[in-house]
Amino acid sequence: MGRQMLRALVVALVVAAGWVMPTAANAAQDCGDGWYKYRDGYMTSEKFWSTNVTTSRNAWIYHSGRLRACTENDTFNDDERRRVLIGQPSESYPFESRVQKNGTYDSFCVTQKIKINMSGIKTSSSFSLGGGVSKNDAGVSWSYTDNTENLTVTLPGARVCGAANRELVAQTSGITATADDEGGKIEWVELYTTISGSYTIKGTKYGVATTLGERDWISKEDEPDPRVPATPHPPPPPPAVCDNDCWRAQLGTQTYNYIENSNMADPRMARIIFDRKFYAAAYPDVRTWAEGKVATQGGTFYDHVQWHWLNYGIPWGRAGSPTFDSAYYLRNQGDVAAAYGSTNYQGAIQHFVSNGRFEGRRGSPFFDPGYYKSRYGDLAGWDNASALDHFTVYGMSEGRQGSADFAPAFYMGTYADLRNAYGGNNYRAGMSHWYSNGSAEGRTPRP
């Protein structure tokens, strides 16, 4: 009896017995022509990661998605679950890896990997892939065990990177895998989500690496739809704000080479009043002017910067150092402004050097002697002028917070672009940046 006659006889017997065969209506279900749904399975796992170096860096990892096992519409062969669809339908049930993270990173990536296990495979090549994926694609590999006729295929999934992104989402969908041999079956599917990257603390680079994996057994009963894409896991709570001393501990101490002025006995050039590096960095026009003078007249850059301060900066009421801003001083010390005049910036310098610093008056938004001494116990009992000298020589380089208005280590730690431009612990550059750009840009100067 021929195969066609045998098929016709069996069909007649099935119909006569009242058995129901797959119809065109359920034969599609995204399985492909001549195939129908066997069962649906869902990926729903999550994992929390945190570095043990600093608790300000952590992430929630969770993945979701649907797979569909399919059976060929063939009465004469054992064709149950020979095909699997990954992430179907793609618009609502992709294999999705979602990562929500806290903290700053040099690099951060989310990478997917999918494994599909088959049994009853006669040769290592007895399988096929579809949905835009082929055996020849980079990253596609498989292992085959001859005596058990078992084969595992590994497929690369999506990969997304973004060090600055709060959330990263990788999605893979539309892939099909089929056991080509009659009697071959899909046994299980695994989804792996790996986060990788790096971050730097005090010049030391640390790595980020952890993986979330999940397996779905195809032989299980049809699973209920958890609708994971519609109800994602809530993001991790933001870490407690890292204050100035928290950032100091991470960024370390700045190495600073102070350039002495030509006449340190002149009140206008005392270190608490004038710092050539700060003045040049805080005012871009001064840099341009001094560079032009070097090009046309010779001399050194910082000698021209000092000349500009004495002849233009003081009369214009500019800030000469992080600890003294004559315009700020006169605005906030009404009795001094009344005695000397509201624009007598030379008089403001003279008063601060002779009286104000000893009286604990604030010369700039960066330093308040009372705040400084109360914040740091090692300075308790110091007089105001000594506390000012400590901040000028040591405190700024250590990233200490000199006032409630500005936190230098917090400022550098919060803004990666400043760390990249000036160095992570260049707190003095952070202060000059605040004068030149940060305040106008609306940057946050303190927690």
Neighbouring-strand partners of residue 136: none
pLDDT tens-digit readout, 391-407? 999 999 999 999 999 99
pLDDT confidence of residue 56: 64
End-to-end CA, the chain? 87
Q: Which residue, among 356, 290, 281, has the nearest Cα to 326 in the 3D structure?
A: 356
Mean pLDDT of 209-220: 90
pLDDT confidence of residue 4: 43
Mean pLDDT of 173-198: 93
Question: How confident is residue 179, by pLDDT bands cut at 50, 70 and 90?
Answer: very high
Mean pLDDT of 325-339: 96
pLDDT tens-digit readout, 10-52? 334 333 433 334 444 344 578 888 888 888 888 888 998 887 6
- Give the E-state strand segments of 51-149 in sequence order: 58-72, 83-86, 95-102, 107-119, 127-130, 141-145
pTM given for the model: 0.51
pLDDT tens-digit readout, 55-74? 568 888 988 889 999 998 76
pLDDT confidence of residue 220: 79
Q: Which residue, among 112, 111, 65, 70, has the nearest Cα to 92 in the 3D structure?
A: 65
What is the chain's percent helix, strand, coil content, to nearest 5? Answer: 35, 30, 40
pLDDT tens-digit readout, 69-119? 999 876 656 668 899 999 877 777 899 999 998 888 899 999 999 999 999
pLDDT tens-digit readout, 166-178? 899 999 999 999 9
pLDDT confidence of residue 10: 37
Q: Are 376 and 394 in contact (CB under 8 A)?
A: no
Whether the pLDDT of residue 292 is over 80: the answer is yes
Angle, vertex CA 274, rays to CA 382 and CA 400, nearest 5 = 45
Helix axes 284-297, 301-308, angle to 10 degrees: 120
Query: What does pLDDT average to over the chain?
Result: 86
Neighbouring-strand partners of residue 186: 118
Higher-confidence position of 441 and 7: 441
Whether the pLDDT of residue 302 is over 50: the answer is yes
